[in-house]
A and B are shown apart, each in its own frame.
Chain A
Amino acid sequence: MSDPFGGIDNFLKDLLIGFGLDSTFVAVILKLAAAAVLGGLAGATAIVLIWVERKLVARIQDRLGPNRVGPYGLLQTIADALKLLTKEVLIPAGADRLVFQMAPLLVVASVIGVWAVMPLAPGLIGSDVNVGLLYILSVGSIGTLGIMMAGLSSNNKYALLGAFRTVAQMVSFMVPLILSLLIPTLLAGSMGMADIVNSQAGLWFIFLAPLAALIFFVSSIAEVGRTPFDLMEADSEIVAGFHIEYSGMAFGMFFVGEFVHAFTISALMAVIFLGGWRGPGAEAFPLLGLVYFLIKTSIMYFVVIWVRATFPRIRIDQMNAFNWKFVTPLALVVLMVTAIVDKLAIESGWPRFLVHVIANLLMVVGTLVILRTQAAALRRRLDVVPEAPVTQPETA
Chain B
Amino acid sequence: MALQWLFIGAILLVGASMAALPIALNTLLGPKKPNKNKSETYECGIETVGETWVQLKGQYYIFGLIFLIFDIEAVFLFPWAVAYDKLQLYMVLEGVLFILILAGGLVYAWRKGALEWV
Give me the interface of A with B, judged by CB distance under 8 Å: 27-28, 31-32, 34-36, 38-40, 42-43, 81, 84-94, 101, 104-113, 115-117, 126-129, 133-135, 137, 139, 155-158, 160, 164, 167-168, 171-172, 174-175, 178-179, 182-183, 185-187, 189-191, 239, 244-245, 248-250, 252-253, 256-257, 316-317, 320-321, 324-325, 328-329, 332, 335-336, 339-340, 342-344, 347
Contact = CB atoms under 8 A, between A and B. Distances in A.
B31 A332 contact: no
A89 B96 CA distance: 53
A339 B78 contact: no
A320 B16 contact: no
Nearest to A46: B18
Contact of B43 (A126, A156, A320): A156
Nearest to B7: A127
B35 to A, nearest CB: 10
A340 B43 CA distance: 54
Contact of B19 (A104, A174, A248, A343): A104
Contact of B42 (A139, A156, A317): A156
B74 A178 contact: yes
Given A110-B15, A156-B52, A343-B87, A35 B10 contact: yes
A85 B40 contact: no
Contacts of B87: 343
B117 A321 contact: yes
Interface string B7-40: 1101111111011101101110111110000111
Contacts of B3: 27-28, 31
Interface in B87-118: 87, 89, 92-93, 95-96, 99-100, 102-103, 106, 109-110, 115, 117
Given A134-B78, A171-B67, A85 B26 contact: yes
A342 B96 CA distance: 13
Contacts, number: 240
A91 B82 CA distance: 47
A35 B23 contact: no
B39 A35 contact: no
B8 A113 contact: yes
Interface of B: 3-8, 10-16, 18-20, 22-23, 25-27, 29-33, 38-43, 48, 52-54, 56-57, 59-60, 63-64, 66-67, 70-71, 74, 77-78, 80-85, 87, 89, 92-93, 95-96, 99-100, 102-103, 106, 109-110, 115, 117
A167 B29 contact: no
Contacts of A157: 43, 48, 52, 54
A183 B77 CA distance: 10
Contacts of A43: 14-15, 18
A324 B43 contact: no
Contacts of A105: 16, 19-20
B8 A88 contact: no
Given A127-B5, A185-B84, 20 more contacts: A43-B14, A90-B38, A90-B39, A92-B41, A94-B41, A104-B23, A106-B16, A113-B11, A117-B8, A127-B8, A137-B74, A157-B48, A157-B54, A174-B71, A175-B71, A182-B78, A191-B82, A250-B23, A324-B109, A332-B103
Contacts of A27: 3
